[in-house]
Amino acid sequence: MPVYEETIQETLNLLKQKQAVGINNVIKAYELAHSLHSGQMRKDGEAYISHPVAVAYSLAKLDFDTNVVSAALLHDVVEDCGYTVKEIESNFNSTIAKIVDGVTAIECDFDSLSDEEFPKLLEGVKTYQKLISVGKENLFAFYIKFADRLHNLTTIKCFPYYKQMAKVKETENWLYPILKLLGANEFYRLIANECFKIQNYNSVDEFSKIYNKYFAYNQETYNILKEDLYLLLNKHMQISNKNLDLQKISLKPCTMLEAYEIIAETMDVKKVQEVKQSYLNKFPITKISLIFNNNRSNKDLNTFLFDFLTNHETQKIIKICGFGVEKDTKMPYIVVVDNFRNKYQLYIFTSKNYLIYRNGMTMGVDLSFVDETSAEISDKYIRIYSRSNEVFRMPENSTVLDFAFKIHKDFGFACKYAYLNDAPTKSPIYTKLSDGDKVVLEIVKDEKGICQNISQIRWIMYAKTDQAQRALVRYFENAL
C-alpha cells in the first residue's frame, strides 16, 4: 500500500474519532484529487497525490474541520489540473471553494524557472498579495498555505541548495509575519524548524543525530510518565473533590531548533553542536501539556496544578525545579524533572485555550491593517556566512551592500553584486539578506588589486545599517 493511502486512512480515522461532520466530503475530495492528479509526480519521485494528502493530514492533526481538510486535498487542482473553483463550489460547498481559491498559486512553478528567471521569483509579490487579500475574508486560506509550505520544506532536498535557500528566504519574508500575526504557534515552530535545518545543514548535523537519539532513547520513559501522570491526576482530583475533567496529556519533544536555542542560552553555540547525549537531560527540551475541560477558570486550574505538583505522591515521579517563558509566545511554564533527571516544560490549559495556543485565532482577527505589498518584520538579527564560512551577525533587513561594508569599507564602495548560497545568478547590491545566507561578493579592483570606488548616490537608499549609511553619506557630502 502506498504511503499516501495509509496517510489518508489515518486522516479519516482522526476525523471519525472526533465525530467530525462532513467526512463524506473529505472522502469525495480525496477521490477527486487522486483522479485529477493521476500520473503527476513530484520532484522527489513521489506520486503528486502524496502532497495534498500530507497537507490534509497536518490540518486534521491540528483539529481543523472537514471543510478545511477537504480544501487541503483540493488545493492544487485548480492550478495544476484545470478544475475550476465553480466546479468545486458546485460539487462540494462555497466554503471549500473559497478556501481553495485563496491558496491557488499564481506564482511561477518553482522548479521550471531557468537560472536567469529564478531571481524574479523573489521579487514577485502577487501570490502573497492575493493570499493576504483573500485571507482577510477567509483565514483558513492561510492555514492551507502553512501546511503546504511545511510539507514542501520537508521534501525539498531534491532541489539545488540555492533554491532551497531561496524558498527559506521567501518563507521568512512572507509567511513568518502572517504566522506570528495569527498566533499559529504550532505551524510556526514546525516551519521555522525546517528552515533552520536547511540553513544549517552542514553545521548541526552532529547535533541532529544526538537530538534524534536522545528522544528515541527516552520514548519509553515518556509513555510511562504520561500513564503515571494521568492516573495520579485523576486520583488527586478524586481526593480533592475536584471534577476538572482531564481530557488529554500531550507530551512531545521541542523541535530541534527550540532545543538548540534553549541549550545555546547557557553555552557557546559551537559547544552546542558537540553536546553529549547524556548532557541533554540538563535542559527542559520536552513539553508536557495538561489539557482540561473548559468549565474551569485558569485560576482554578493553576491552583490545582501547584497543589498536585507539591503532593507527596506526585513527587515520587516528578518535581518542580524552576520556571520559564517561551521566547516567541511568551507562554509561561513550570520546569519539572523526572526520576531519570530528564527536564520538561509543563503547561496547563483548558481545551479551548490549548487550541488557541497551538493554532492561533482562526476567527475574529482583524487583518485590515496588513500591508498587502509587504509583510516584513524587523528588530532581529540574522547570521550571514562569508566566502570562507565566517559568521557575521547583522540586523534582519540588511542588504548585500550592508554586508560588503561590514567586511570592509573599501569593499562597500567597490561592491558590484554578489552570489548567494552558491547560486549561479548575480544578486544586486540592494538584495535583502536572510538568516543563513552565504554571500560571495564581487568586488571591482584595478590591475594592481586595489578596490575601485564605483558607488552612486542612490546607494544610500540601498543601505539599511548605520555603518553603511554613515560611510556613504560622508563620502557624498565631501564629494558634492
The rounded distance, in Å, linking the Cα atoms of 36 and 73 is 11
Show which of 359, 389, 422 is a domain's final residue. 359
> In this predicted structure, what is the pLDDT of residue 476?
80
Last residue of a domain, one of 359, 393, 423: 359
If one compares 329 and 306, the residue with the highest pLDDT of the two is 306
**What pLDDT does residue 115 have?**
45
**Is residue 338 domain-shared with residue 391, that is, in the same domain?**
no
pLDDT at 123: 44
Per-residue pLDDT tens for 254-274?
999 999 999 888 887 667 777
Domain with residue 414: its CATH number is 3.10.20.30
Cα–Cα distance, 272 to 282 (Å, whole number)? 13
Structural domain count of the chain = 3
Residue 369, pLDDT > 60, answer no
Task: Return the amino acid letter for 28.
Answer: K
Are residue 213 and residue 355 in the same domain, yes or no? Answer: yes
For residues 345 and 407, membership in a common domain is answered with: no
Is 447 within 8 Å of 458 (Cβ atoms)?
no
Tell me the CATH number at 181: 1.10.3210.10
Q: Are 361 and 305 in contact (CB under 8 A)?
A: no
By the 10 Å C-beta count (0-12 exposed, 13-18 middle, 19+ buried), 414 is classed as buried
Of 199, 220, 255, the last residue of a domain is: 199
Cell numbers standing for residue 151: 510539507
Q: What are phi and psi of 29, to 5 degrees?
A: -65, -40
* Domain span including residue 386: 381-479
pTM comes to 0.77
The pLDDT of 285-312, averaged and rounded, is: 87
**pLDDT at residue 297 is higher than 80:** no
Q: What is the pLDDT of residues 83-130, one digit of tens each?
A: 999 999 999 999 999 889 888 743 333 334 444 444 444 444 455 555
Residue 227 and residue 310 in one domain: yes
pLDDT in tens, 33-71: 999 999 999 988 999 999 999 999 999 999 999 999 999
* Residue ranges in 136-288 assigned as alpha helix (H): 140-154, 161-170, 176-182, 185-199, 205-239, 256-264, 269-272
Q: Tell me: do 262 and 194 sit in the same domain.
A: no
Please tell me the predicted confidence (pLDDT) of residue 134. Answer: 58
20 vs 138, higher pLDDT? 20
Q: pLDDT-based confidence at 376, cuts 50/70/90?
A: very low
List the single range of 209-218, 221-230, 357-366 with lowest mean pLDDT.
357-366
Residue 153 included in any domain: yes
The answer to whether residues 42 and 188 belong to one domain is yes
Report the pLDDT value the prediction gives residue 106, as an integer from 0 to 100.
Answer: 31
